[in-house]
């Protein structure tokens, strides 16, 4: 790339690439890098076809902005060069900031991901434990299926569910070694919504594990990928699960 511009006119391409790296998981980045490796430049049809095929909220806009900056700021750089830059950044992982997650209508330029896909992704990232809480649950077949796959690979699963909504029925097909917990009496209800994988990733938000909440309702959440934030959350729920504290009971 040419020399750095003045501070009043910085290059946008590195910033846009960094933002994309923060958004996409490693496997999605690898797919993009493979496309770029075969592209001659920003106007290559391979690039435009890849962008047009994206369905995640705001991703088409984000990739289009990268292509515009590539064309303006580094027109002589090949796709292989851009892929190498992305791969280099991916090889040095860093703590990822909180990421906005939504359900319902979304504008094309909003850099947010959809709750339904993120929920499945977080569950799929678990290697040892899953802690999932929801006030209501109905349908959500992709989520239930992903939990089943987690159980098959040896992940310990705790489901914290509100008894009054009969949420446990949505998970009846899961193996019996999945532990289901209900609130012990009292005047309050279990209203938390969280999906936590191991101690590294947690999805927090307003969406219950229902088909409408995951896709159609107007819902809002965040994904945390900083263990320093996720671990205290897990410790709180482990305290709630401790029998001596008489907060939750195992079914």
Domains belonging to the chain, first-starting first, are 13-90 (no CATH), 99-250 (3.30.870.10)
Q: Tell me which of 39-48, 104-113, 146-155 is least confident.
A: 104-113
pLDDT at position 2: 46
Taking each helix axis as running N to C, give the angle between helix 115-124 and helix 141-152, from 0 to 180 degrees, rounded to the nearest 10. Answer: 10
Separation CA 251–CA 236 (nearest Å): 20
Contacts of 96 (CB under 8 A, 6+ apart): 22, 225, 226
Strands 201-205 and 219-224: antiparallel
Taking each helix axis as running N to C, give the angle between helix 45-52 and helix 59-73, from 0 to 180 degrees, rounded to the nearest 10. Answer: 160
Q: Average of pLDDT values for 57-83? A: 91
**How much of the chain, in percent, has pLDDT values that exceed 90?**
70
Q: For the chain, what is the largest distance between any 2 Cα atoms, rounded to a whole number of angstroms? A: 67
pLDDT over 80 at 3, yes or no? no
| Selection from 147, 141, 241 nearest residue 197 by Cα | 147
State pTM to two decimals: 0.66
**How much of the chain, in percent, has pLDDT values that exceed 70?**
92
Query: Taking the CA of residue 97 as centre, how many other CA atoms within 13 Å lie in the half-sphere pointing to its CB?
Result: 8
Separation CA 221–CA 103 (nearest Å): 9
More confident residue, 110 or 97: 97
Separation CA 169–CA 147 (nearest Å): 14
User: Which residue is associated with the tokens 């219950």?
Assistant: 208
């Amino acid at each position: 790339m040419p020399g750095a511009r003045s501070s009043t006119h910085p290059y946008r391409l590195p910033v846009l690439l960094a933002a994309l790296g923060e958004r996409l998981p490693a496997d999605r980045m690898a797919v993009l890098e493979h496309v770029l490796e075969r592209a001659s430049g920003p106007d290559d049809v391979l690039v435009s076809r890849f962008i047009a095929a994206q369905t995640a909220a705001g991703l088409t806009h984000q990739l289009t902005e990268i292509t515009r900056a590539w064309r303006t700021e580094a027109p002589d750089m090949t796709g292989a060069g851009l892929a190498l830059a992305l791969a280099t950044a991916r090889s040095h992982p860093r703590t990822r900031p909180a990421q906005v997650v939504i359900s319902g209508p979304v504008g094309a330029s909003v850099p947010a991901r959809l709750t339904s896909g993120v929920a499945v992704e977080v569950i799929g990232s678990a290697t040892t434990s899953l802690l999932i809480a929801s006030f209501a649950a109905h349908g959500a077949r992709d989520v239930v299926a992903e939990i089943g796959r987690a159980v098959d690979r040896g992940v310990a699963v705790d489901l914290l569910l509100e008894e009054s909504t009969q949420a446990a029925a949505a998970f009846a097909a899961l193996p019996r070694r999945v532990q289901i917990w209900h609130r012990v009496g009292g005047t309050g209800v279990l209203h938390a919504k969280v999906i936590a994988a191991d101690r590294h990733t947690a999805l927090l938000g307003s969406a219950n594990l229902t088909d409408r909440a995951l896709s159609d309702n107007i819902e809002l959440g965040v994904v945390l990928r900083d263990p320093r934030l996720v671990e205290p959350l897990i410790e709180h729920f482990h305290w709630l699960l401790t029998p001596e504290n008489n907060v939750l009971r195992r079914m």
